[in-house]
Chain A
Amino acid sequence: MTALTDPPKESFRLSMLINDTRYRSLTFQAIALLVLISAVAYLASNLMANLAAAGLNISYDFLGDPAGYDINQTLIGYTSQSAHLQAAWVGILNTLLVAFLACITATILGVFAGVMRLSNNWLVRKLMSGYVEIFRNIPVLIWILIIYAIMTVSLPAPNAFRGDSPESTMLLDSFAFTNRGIYIPSPIWGAGSIVVVLTFVASIIGVFAYRRYAKKLLFSTGKLLPMGWPSLAILFVPTILMFFIMGQPITLDYPELKGFNFRGGLKIGAPLIALWVALSVYTGAFIAENVRAGILAVSKGQTEAAAALGLRPGRIMNLVVLPQALRVIIPPLISQYLNITKNSSLAIAVGYADITATLGGITLNQTGRAIECVLLLMLFYLVISLGISAIMNTYNNAVKLKER
């Protein structure tokens, strides 16, 4: 009787690390890792040694010291006596604000331009390719400076609004366009305004619920409910009703020319506008190309088949082509969002107080802690970029073609 046994286990020899393909890649990776670690360690120790020789050290104590400088746009409380850390937070929020705004407008602009570039209308097509080629091929810094320069030169200074017969007047007595920014009325939240706001939030949820229901109905019964006007109605009617029921708790604070500047209302500063618009139009041109590529990736037969079913061109785009194009569009779109966030660091060119301007600019300069500040900046941008990437990839997984 014979028993089947495993072949004798080959004993491990050191030479197999090089000769055996099973181990070879691991060997090289381990060597590469070791080299990398020692290179980084060498640089770090060299840095430390040189800092010590210069009598300097790495310390983050300065973050708690009063910053001493003022910032022209703050979303959170800040005075010149606040700590450098608070100034950094102000900068972080400003970065996120402009990145968020620019991502939205760039997407809208990009999708519009990308679709229009494939239009059958010669003029529209050429206009859009002109837009894409011009904006994509000129550096974003130049666009930021151009838009800022146009704003400061072409719009009037606040003192043009002064006097009995001023050179400029406010639009509808509530909007002032000046070279320092746009002043608009801001809401004053009175008692009971929270109810109105909650109603509005509930309405937004309601709109989504309605659209979901309509879609479900369409898929199960083939009955198409109207989408446009009911959505708008759900969005606004309850809120407006609640606004009057609560006795109009939200009033507006109008900007008024007082002293040197407009006071009151909400100011959207010229640097923010310049940065926002420049990032939007610049990145919009790239997104337009992504969208165009995505649409071209959908077979023409799909369009023809949809048309044969009697769908209108708008519906074909919305229901057939774009959903399939999204899986091609979204991955590069993630890169564009990252680009917007990173390019917002050019803010200092127009004096916008983003993180690079506060922590990486004034704080660095006033404290002289260059290495510490730059390390923090790198950490911030890394966290933000990875965050955006994670969120967008989750979305991508949700919309990508499901293979069953």
Chain B
Amino acid sequence: MKKSVFLGALTVAGLAAGVAAAGTQDDVKARGKLNCGVTTGLVGFAAPDANGVWQGFDVSVCRAVAAAVLGDANAVEFVPTTGKTRFTALASGEIDMLARNTTWTFSRDVDLKFEFVGINYYDGQGFMVPKALGVSSAKELDGATVCIQTGTTTELNLADFFRKNNISYEPVPVETNAEGQQQYLAGACDTYTTDASGLAATRAAFENPADHVILPEIVSKEPLGPLVRHGDNEWADTVRWTLNALIAAEELGVTSANVGEMSMEAGSSPEVNRLLGTEGNLGEMLGLDADWAKKAIMAGGNYGELFEKNIGENTPIGLARGLNAQWTDGGLLYTPPFR
């Protein structure tokens, strides 16, 4: 490990540092803090609030993992990453996990040697245009100037979409969502494209959100989820099952309000018992306390609560559950059983 740190400081990418360390979970416990990579600021998903406290849907995943592993939802060091820096930050060991609107793709999973532990938001790429432009479909965007965050899958989808429809466009590469928003509002580009959830979140921050429309076309599948480094399976399991616990909790009717009571003693539902640690030894298998899932749920609530609180229909972002509803409600959320 010493060798790796020395290298990490000296090589430009420092790609390999930390890889040699076997147990990220042990490192996190020893450090007493989880280093979690998030966006540099996307309201609803990850952004500091007025008090400088990070809030949002992705942030909640970090907090849940920190609560499960360390017992403290606030023991998180949030590391803002851009589309460009996120993978290097994870690969070099600067962060323990990345929860940052990152699309699960083949090459990232296989070639970049990362491990996507699940999907916390099923998304797709959309386009936002000013209403005054009078555009009603993305296919009418021939010749348009498009603001696009560089180094993202959306950048590649954008090229594919315009090529497929045989129309032209001019990209204006931007580094962060804030920069894209600024360029779009200044009229430096006709349309801004990113994940539809990101567009909704961006639009919510506008002065006059009603002046902008999100076009109906969704041009790609963007399964967004947290990821960790390849090869540390214990740590991957911890993050994966923490996310699953949040989703399962909603399915099983465990909320932040009733989790305390339900975990007092074994109830009538065996799966809830196993999840909350009143029965079986799932926590021990992960190398965590028996009530790890309870702590994760207490951190902010189950998946549904997090959704409603951060990005749901009653927030300025106003996203419908849609694909992100439980499988029992016709959505795609489906966790493997806790047994």
A interface residues with partner B (beta carbon < 8 Å): 43, 46-47, 50-51, 53-56, 68-72, 79-81, 152-153, 157, 159, 179-180, 258-261, 263, 270, 348-349, 351, 353, 357, 361-362, 364-368, 370-371, 374
Chain A residues, CB < 8 A from B230: 54-55
Once bound together, how far apart are the Cα atoms of A34 and B142, in whole Å? 61
Q: Which of B79-136 contact A (CB under 8 A)?
A: 83-84, 87-88, 91, 107-108, 111-113, 132-133
B225–chain A nearest beta-carbon distance, Å: 18
B190–chain A nearest beta-carbon distance, Å: 5
* Known contacts A56-B113, A351-B172, A365-B83: A370-B19 contact under CB 8 Å: no
Q: Check A371 against B7 for contact (C-beta < 8 Å).
A: no
Q: Check A261 against B143 for contact (C-beta < 8 Å).
A: yes
Q: Check A370 against B145 for contact (C-beta < 8 Å).
A: no
Cβ of B4 < 8 Å from any Cβ of A? yes
Which one, B163-171, B201-209, B295-303, is touching chain A?
B163-171
Once bound together, how far apart are the Cα atoms of A367 and B4, in whole Å? 23
* Known contacts A152-B188, A180-B188, A258-B143: A50-B151 contact under CB 8 Å: no
**Residue among A43, A361, A367, A374 making CB contact with B7, cutoff 8 Å:** A43
Once bound together, how far apart are the Cα atoms of A19 and B244, in whole Å? 73
Chain A residues, CB < 8 A from B19: 50, 53-54
Chain B residues, CB < 8 A from A263: 143
Chain B residue at smallest Cβ distance from A351: B173
B218–chain A nearest beta-carbon distance, Å: 19
Q: Check B151 against A80 for contact (C-beta < 8 Å).
A: no
Q: Check B159 against A368 for contact (C-beta < 8 Å).
A: no
Q: List 26 A-B contacts (CB under 8 A).
A: A43-B7, A46-B7, A50-B17, A54-B19, A68-B159, A69-B155, A69-B156, A69-B159, A70-B159, A72-B173, A81-B163, A159-B187, A180-B172, A180-B189, A259-B142, A260-B144, A261-B145, A348-B175, A361-B84, A362-B151, A362-B173, A364-B84, A365-B150, A370-B13, A370-B91, A371-B12
Q: Check A368 against B87 for contact (C-beta < 8 Å).
A: yes
Cβ of B141 < 8 Å from any Cβ of A? yes
Chain B residues, CB < 8 A from A46: 3-4, 6-7
Once bound together, how far apart are the Cα atoms of A370 and B266, in whole Å? 51
Chain B residues, CB < 8 A from A72: 170-173
Chain A residue at smallest Cβ distance from B19: A54
A194–chain B nearest beta-carbon distance, Å: 30
A126–chain B nearest beta-carbon distance, Å: 35
Chain A residue at smallest Cβ distance from B170: A72
Cβ of B20 < 8 Å from any Cβ of A? yes
Against A, the Cβ 8 Å flags (1 = close, 0 = not) of B183-209 are: 100111110000000000000000000
**Residue among B6, B150, B187 making CB contact with A179, cutoff 8 Å:** B187
Once bound together, how far apart are the Cα atoms of A70 and B156, in whole Å? 8
Once bound together, how far apart are the Cα atoms of A366 and B106, in whole Å? 12
Q: Which 3 A-B pairs have the closest CB atoms?
A: A50-B16, A365-B151, A157-B187
Once bound together, how far apart are the Cα atoms of A258 and B229, in whole Å? 48
Once bound together, how far apart are the Cα atoms of A46 and B6, in whole Å? 10
Cβ of B10 < 8 Å from any Cβ of A? yes
Number of B residues near A (Cβ < 8 Å) is 55
Cβ of B174 < 8 Å from any Cβ of A? yes
Chain A residues, CB < 8 A from B91: 54, 368, 370
Q: Check A368 against B108 for contact (C-beta < 8 Å).
A: yes
Cβ of B288 < 8 Å from any Cβ of A? no
Against A, the Cβ 8 Å flags (1 = close, 0 = not) of B238-273 are: 000000000000000000000000000000000000
Chain A residues, CB < 8 A from B187: 152, 157, 159, 179
Chain B residue at smallest Cβ distance from A374: B12
Q: Check A357 against B150 for contact (C-beta < 8 Å).
A: yes
Chain A residue at smallest Cβ distance from B132: A159
Cβ of B231 < 8 Å from any Cβ of A? yes
B180–chain A nearest beta-carbon distance, Å: 10
Once bound together, how far apart are the Cα atoms of A374 and B7, in whole Å? 16
Chain B residues, CB < 8 A from A54: 15-16, 19, 91, 113, 229-231
**Residue among B3, B111, B144, B158 making CB contact with A261, cutoff 8 Å:** B144
Chain A residue at smallest Cβ distance from B12: A374
A209–chain B nearest beta-carbon distance, Å: 44
Q: Check A353 against B173 for contact (C-beta < 8 Å).
A: yes
Cβ of B51 < 8 Å from any Cβ of A? no
A339–chain B nearest beta-carbon distance, Å: 21
Chain A residue at smallest Cβ distance from B172: A351
Q: Check A70 against B158 for contact (C-beta < 8 Å).
A: yes
Q: Check A51 against B145 for contact (C-beta < 8 Å).
A: no
* Known contacts A56-B113, A68-B159, A80-B163: A180-B145 contact under CB 8 Å: yes
**Residue among B20, B150, B231 making CB contact with A362, cutoff 8 Å:** B150
Chain A residue at smallest Cβ distance from B14: A370
Once bound together, how far apart are the Cα atoms of A253 and B255, in whole Å? 67
Chain B residues, CB < 8 A from A270: 188
Chain A residue at smallest Cβ distance from B183: A152
Cβ of B328 < 8 Å from any Cβ of A? no
Chain A residues, CB < 8 A from B186: 152-153, 157, 179
Most buried by A among B16, B20, B83, B231: B16
Once bound together, how far apart are the Cα atoms of A353 and B170, in whole Å? 12
Once bound together, how far apart are the Cα atoms of A348 and B173, in whole Å? 8
Most buried by B among A152, A357, A368: A368
Q: Which of B1-49 contact A (CB under 8 A)?
A: 3-4, 6-7, 10-13, 15-17, 19-20
Once bound together, how far apart are the Cα atoms of A371 and B16, in whole Å? 10
Once bound together, how far apart are the Cα atoms of A46 and B15, in whole Å? 12
A70–chain B nearest beta-carbon distance, Å: 5
Q: Check B15 against A366 for contact (C-beta < 8 Å).
A: no
Once bound together, how far apart are the Cα atoms of A181 and B17, in whole Å? 43
**Residue among B16, B87, B151, B190 making CB contact with A361, cutoff 8 Å:** B151
Chain B residues, CB < 8 A from A69: 150, 155-156, 159, 171
Q: Which of B283-332 contact A (CB under 8 A)?
A: none
Once bound together, how far apart are the Cα atoms of A121 and B162, in whole Å? 59
Q: Check B20 against A53 for contact (C-beta < 8 Å).
A: yes
Chain A residue at smallest Cβ distance from B86: A365
* Known contacts A70-B158, A260-B145, A353-B173: A51-B188 contact under CB 8 Å: no
